[in-house]
């Protein structure tokens, strides 16, 4: 028997691999674009799509390699017209990875999870064998300039949401990011990713937190997360803190929903544990 702690079944999801990064960055940019937070923090996304894709590529690379993090992906059959569902600057950029060369399935959703400090599963949830050892060079055009972002907006967002995040989310398991490509919305992909996270939290017998956009909050609430605080950034906050008037005029209210899900003690949750390799692909 394995001495490793058991894991939830990897039904329809799998651990992300370094070779997935190009597609993950594409899915993240396509999905997060519809979030008011994206519009707020990245006002120059149309002018600098390479910067947007680069930031997600680098962020998820670091998450995949972090033993205290988990990055999951969900796959579906590729839709040839998926680019029609993304914003113009991304649709036409050379760094957009469509996955058209994949024989059957492509990555359509991604999430990242921060494990609770001291978790027995730290270091257990990186991709196994060759998928972790593979050397993946940053794509041509990768940049760390972040020209799509507004430093003022980032500072405003951090200042106004930081206290609530610290109060409710520090030192506990957290569902950090969740994105699905718009061409594959309303097919249960976000729920599958969130469901794996909550089943892991039940096995660990710990609560799990999330800070979500309005759309993400709907998915989280259905998975049993309960609101503990909602932080709102309105136009007066933006103006008082130095954002340019033209950016403010384009934006509505930006909000962050913070929720906590308590662990379930259901016997069915515990019996769902598996010793199957987390890198195996189950359909």
Instruction: For residue 3, name the pLDDT band (cuts at 50, 70, 90).
Output: low
Task: Please state which of the ranges 112-116, 138-142, 209-213, 275-279 shows the lowest mean pLDDT.
Answer: 275-279
For the beta sheet containing 13-15, the strands, ordered from the edge strand earlier in sequence to the opposite edge, are 13-15, 69-77, 105-114, 173-180, 208-212, 254-261, 226-233
56 compared with 246, residue with greater pLDDT: 56
E strands in the chain: 13-15, 69-77, 105-114, 173-180, 208-212, 226-233, 254-261
Task: Tell me the pLDDT band of 236, cut-offs 50, 70 and 90.
Answer: confident
pLDDT beyond 60 at 114: yes
pLDDT attached to residue 133: 58
Does the pLDDT at position 85 exceed 60?
yes
Query: What DSSP line would sit under 34-79, residue for residue?
Result: TSHHHHHH-TTTTT-HHHHHHHHHHHHHHHHH-TTEEEEEEEEE--
Is 212 in a helix, a strand, or coil?
Answer: strand
Q: What is the pLDDT of residue 134?
A: 63
Q: pLDDT band at residue 269, thresholds of 50, 70 and 90? A: very low
The pLDDT tens digits of the residues spanning 5-23 come to 889 999 899 999 999 999 9
Q: Does 242 score more than 70 pLDDT?
A: no
pLDDT above 80 (res 283): no
Q: Would the pLDDT of 175 be above 70? A: yes
For residue 268, pLDDT beyond 50: no
Task: List, for residues 35-50, the tens digit of each pLDDT value.
Answer: 999 999 999 999 999 9
The 3-state DSSP class for residue 119 equals coil
Calculate mean pLDDT across residues 138-148.
87
Beta bridge partners of 257: 212, 230
Q: What angle do CA 247, 36, 22 make, to 5 degrees?
A: 105
Question: Where are the chain's structural domains?
Answer: 13-268
Cα–Cα distance for residue pair 29/116, rounded to 1 Å: 27
pLDDT at 265: 72
Q: Is the pLDDT of residue 74 over 80?
A: yes
Is pLDDT at 280 greater than 50 in this prediction?
A: no
Residue 270: pLDDT band with limits 50, 70, 90: very low
- Is this prediction's pTM over 0.75? yes
What's the CA gap between 277 and 9, in Å, rounded? 9
CA distance 50 to 72: 23
Instruction: Identify the pLDDT of residue 202.
Output: 97
CATH 3.40.630.30 fits 13-268, yes or no: yes
Kind of pairing, strands 208-212 and 105-114? unpaired
pLDDT of 24 above 50? yes
């Amino acid at each position: 028997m394995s001495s490793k702690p058991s894991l939830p079944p990897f039904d329809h999801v799998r651990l992300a691999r370094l070779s997935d990064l190009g597609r993950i960055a594409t899915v993240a940019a396509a999905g997060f674009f519809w979030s008011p937070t994206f519009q707020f923090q990245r006002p120059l996304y149309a002018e600098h799509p390479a910067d947007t894709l680069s930031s997600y590529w680098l962020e998820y690379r670091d998450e995949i390699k972090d033993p205290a993090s988990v990055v999951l992906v969900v796959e579906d059959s590729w839709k040839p017209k998926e680019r029609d569902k993304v914003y113009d600057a991304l649709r036409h950029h050379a760094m957009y990875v469509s996955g058209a060369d994949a024989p059957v399935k492509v990555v359509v959703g991604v999430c990242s999870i921060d494990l609770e400090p001291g978790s027995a599963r730290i270091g257990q949830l990186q991709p196994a064998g060759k998928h972790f050892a593979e050397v993946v060079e940053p794509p041509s055009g990768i940049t760390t300039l972040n020209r799509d972002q507004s430093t003022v907006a980032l500072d405003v967002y951090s200042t106004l949401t930081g206290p609530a995040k610290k109060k409710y989310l520090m030192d506990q398991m957290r569902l950090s990011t969740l994105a699905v490509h718009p061409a594959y919305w309303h097919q249960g992909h976000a729920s599958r990713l969130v469901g794996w996270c909550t089943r892991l939290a039940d096995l660990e017998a710990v609560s799990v937190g999330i800070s979500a956009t309005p759309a993400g909050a709907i998915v989280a609430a259905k998975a049993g997360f309960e609101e503990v605080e909602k932080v709102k950034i309105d136009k007066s906050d933006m103006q008082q803190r130095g954002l340019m008037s033209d950016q403010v005029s384009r934006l509505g209210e930006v909000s962050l929903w913070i929720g906590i899900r308590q662990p379930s003690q259901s016997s069915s949750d515990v019996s769902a544990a598996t010793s199957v390799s987390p890198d195996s692909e189950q359909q």
